[in-house]
Amino acid sequence: MEGTVTEPVPVQVAEEEEEEEEDDEEEEGLAGRFLRLEREQNALLRELPPFGDPVSHVYHPLDYAWEPHCDFVRRYCRTPKRVLFLGMNPGPFGMAQTGVPFGEAWHVREWLRVVGGVKKPPSEHPKRPVLGLSCRRAEVS
């Protein structure tokens, strides 16, 4: 259905996600604060109007790949860093699969040792399926 614009799907917060939010709020330290800020920013992102033609699919990895993203943040965001990411191109075989910035599945799984379940996005492009940490394609962007 190339060229078809899909309507945004209202995101309902499941009990599991509510528990994750409570865990994030109770979690102390830099990782917990960072995850809370990401949740707040993600909520603002959901309020943006939908894209029109020619955009047919929009992936939100922090919605469907939240588990590995949280694992990544909790593992590697423990102390202040002197790094600032102003933007990123996640690519269809990087963050779009794993929820980890700049992270193709093999590196996220084998090198970073990140774990977690990845769900399917509400509207998935047939040529860009989300396979999560089991994705075999390499990100070249």
Q: Tell me what pLDDT residue 136 has.
A: 94
Q: Tell me what pLDDT residue 3 has.
A: 40
Splitting the chain (141 residues) into consecutive groups of 10 residues, what average pLDDT does each group show?
38 47 62 94 92 92 95 91 68 91 90 96 94 91 64
Q: Tell me what pLDDT residue 12 has.
A: 45
Q: Tell me what pLDDT residue 68 has.
A: 97
Say which CATH class 10-134 falls into: alpha beta
Q: Tell me what pLDDT residue 79 has.
A: 87
Domain residue ranges of the chain, discontinuous segments joined by +: 10-134
Full 3-state SS string of the chain: CCCCCCCCCCCCCCHHHHHHHHHHHHCCHHHHHHHHHHHHHHHHHHCCCCCCCCCCCCCCHHHHCHHHHHHHHHHHCCCCCCCCCCCCCCHHHHHHHHCCCCCCHHHHHHHCCCCCCCCCCCCCCCCCCCCHHHCCCCCCC
